[in-house]
Structure 1
Amino acid sequence: MTAGFSDFFYSSPDGLKLHARIYGEHNHDSLPVVCLPGLTRNARDFHQLALYLSNAAEPQRKIVSFDYRGRGQSAYDTNVANYTVGVEANDILAGLDQLGIKQAAFIGTSRGGLIIHVLGVLRSTILKAIVLNDVGPALEITGLAHIKSYLERAQNPQNLAEAVEAQKTAHGQDFTALTTADWERMVAAIYREEDGKPVPDFDPKLVETLAAVDLSKPLPTLWPQFEALGEIPMLAVRGANSRLLSEETLQEMARRHPRLQTVTAAGQGHAPFLENGELPETIARFINAAERQQ
């Protein structure tokens, strides 16, 4: 084990080598937690939160934080068409099957939250509590356009300082609450080092999957899939400055889901750092309460 976690490698249904981090692997007496990152992000996004939930919170829990195919330490797929929420949902189920995890609390950031909606269709019994981080069944075109824009125009920083400045330029107005340490932690999660330079830690072909999105038309919604999760305790976290999840959508989610709790992360955009402020304690309390309700 290194730095509080161990590496877990497994095979996807189509034979790709995939990776996840496991924190607190000997914590067997409480509901495990599965962490699912955003589109181009990876397991490192949840490092601080996973350390808290596996070591400091009570009870201590096993945490499984996934790298989707084409991200982090998971293998890249030669077929770009496989970079979809449906394929990735089945990859997650394959990993959990190989770990012997039949039920868990799920934390999904952005794309991870969309995957949770699909898991509700594929295997709803595995979902015992859900945390949606700045994502819902309806997304705003302006938010997706912003994501598409900064991914397509991403610069090639020559060092970590330039990488930090690039992230501040892209996201600074939405993340007014972040400290220098927060920005540096973001960069450490997003980039890997290659030939002494920071390189985005995902398959560049992932950007191609956004090319087909027609931003002139309303985005498809997942309201039926969301309503199917109505019996599962749910916590929705929204960044106060989010461009992707609107306050109106959050209110509609609360209207349609009788067990939904909401929290707003002040000074944060898409997607909030879940390790900041009181969010770790809030998430731990939510999962504890959900587990007691079983």
Structure 2
Amino acid sequence: MSSGFSDFFYTSPDGLELHARIYGEANSGHWPVVCLPGLTRNCRDFHGVALFLSQQAQTPRNIVAFDYRGRGQSAYDADIGHYNVGVEAGDVLAGLAALGIEEAAFIGTSRGGLIIHVLGAMRPAVLRAIVLNDIGPVLEAGGLAHIRSYLERAPKPKTRAEALSAVRGAHGSDFPALTEAEWERMVAALYRETDEGLLPDFDPKLVDTLAGLDLTQKLPDMWPQFEALAAIPLFAIRGANSKLLSAETFDQMRNRHPCVETITVDAQGHAPFLESGGLPVAIAAFLDRAEQRFAAK
């Protein structure tokens, strides 16, 4: 056990060694929480909120934060065609099976939220409550273009100071209120130390998975998958400056889901820091309400 978590390794259905962090292993009797990160992100994004939910919340929970294949401490895949939400959803289910978890609350940031939509089609019984962090059934082409442009032109900083400057330069206008400590946490989650200096902590081939997207055309939406989640309590978070989740889509999510609670985080873009702005307390309270309502049925 180190810094409030332990490392868990398991094997994917096609034989890759994959990784997750486990917080609050001794916590039982309540729904565990599964944390799913964004496209090129990893389990470290959830460290702050996972510590809160496992140690400080009124109902301490077991937290599992996944590294998808090709990210963090999970093995890279030689076939970049396997870097898709369907395969990654299957990997998550394999990890949950290895941990003996049959049902849980899920927190999905960006791509993690898309994976939750897929899990709703693959195995809806595993989903007890859902937190979507700046993601919905409609992706704005401009937001995806911004992500693709940043990844294709991502700087290669040699030092942590250069990394801080680069990350601020790319995201500062969307996150005007972040503190120095929060920028440093972003850099610590994005990069890993190597003999060659700092490197982004994901398979560089992930960038190629975005290359074929025609962002001049309307992107397919996931409204049918979203509406299939109607019976599951949902807490939807949007960054006020988000380029990926529009205010219009956010309003439609509110109108189309009968069990939804929403919050907009001021002065943050895609995607809000889950350890900031009172979000840990709000998420913990939502999970407690959802579990109590379920128990009362």
Instruction: Place the TM-score, normalised by the shorter chain, in its bin.
Output: over 0.9
Deviations 1:24-78 (A, max 9, x none): 0010121100000000000000001000000000110000000000000000000
Please state how far the C-alpha of 1:195 moved relative to its aligned partner: 1.2
Distance in 1 (CA, whole Å) between partners of 2:264 and 2:132 is 12
1:194 maps to 2:194: yes
Residue in structure 1 matched with residue 246 of structure 2 by the alignment: 246
1:232 maps to a residue whose letter is I
TM-score where L is the length of structure 2: 0.98
Please state how far the C-alpha of 1:247 moved relative to its aligned partner: 0.5
Distance in 2 (CA, whole Å) between partners of 1:83 and 1:238 is 25
Runs of 4+ with deviation above 4 angstroms: none
Please state how far the C-alpha of 1:158 moved relative to its aligned partner: 1.0
The 3-state SS of whatever aligns with 2:262 is strand
Please state how far the C-alpha of 1:198 moved relative to its aligned partner: 1.1
The 3-state SS of whatever aligns with 1:156 is coil
Residue in structure 1 matched with residue 108 of structure 2 by the alignment: 108
Residue in structure 2 matched with residue 214 of structure 1 by the alignment: 214
Deviations 1:197-233 (A, max 9, x none): 1100000000000001101101110000000000000
Deviations 1:154-200 (A, max 9, x none): 01101001001111111000001101100000000010001161100
The 5 Å alignment of 1:1-294 reads 1-195=1-195, 197-294=197-294
Please state how far the C-alpha of 1:260 moved relative to its aligned partner: 0.9
Please state how far the C-alpha of 1:15 moved relative to its aligned partner: 0.6
The 3-state SS of whatever aligns with 2:198 is strand
TM-score where L is the length of structure 1: 0.99
Query: Structure 2 regions of 5+ residues with no counterpart?
Result: none
Which shifted more, 171-180 or 194-203?
194-203
1:159 maps to a residue whose letter is T
Distance in 1 (CA, whole Å) between partners of 2:189 and 2:34 is 18
Coordinate RMSD, CA, aligned: 0.6
The 3-state SS of whatever aligns with 2:243 is coil
Deviations 1:82-135 (A, max 9, x none): 000000000000000010001100000000000000000000000000000000
Please state how far the C-alpha of 1:150 moved relative to its aligned partner: 0.3
Aligned length in residues: 294
* Residue identity (%): 66
Distance in 2 (CA, whole Å) between partners of 1:49 and 1:177 is 19
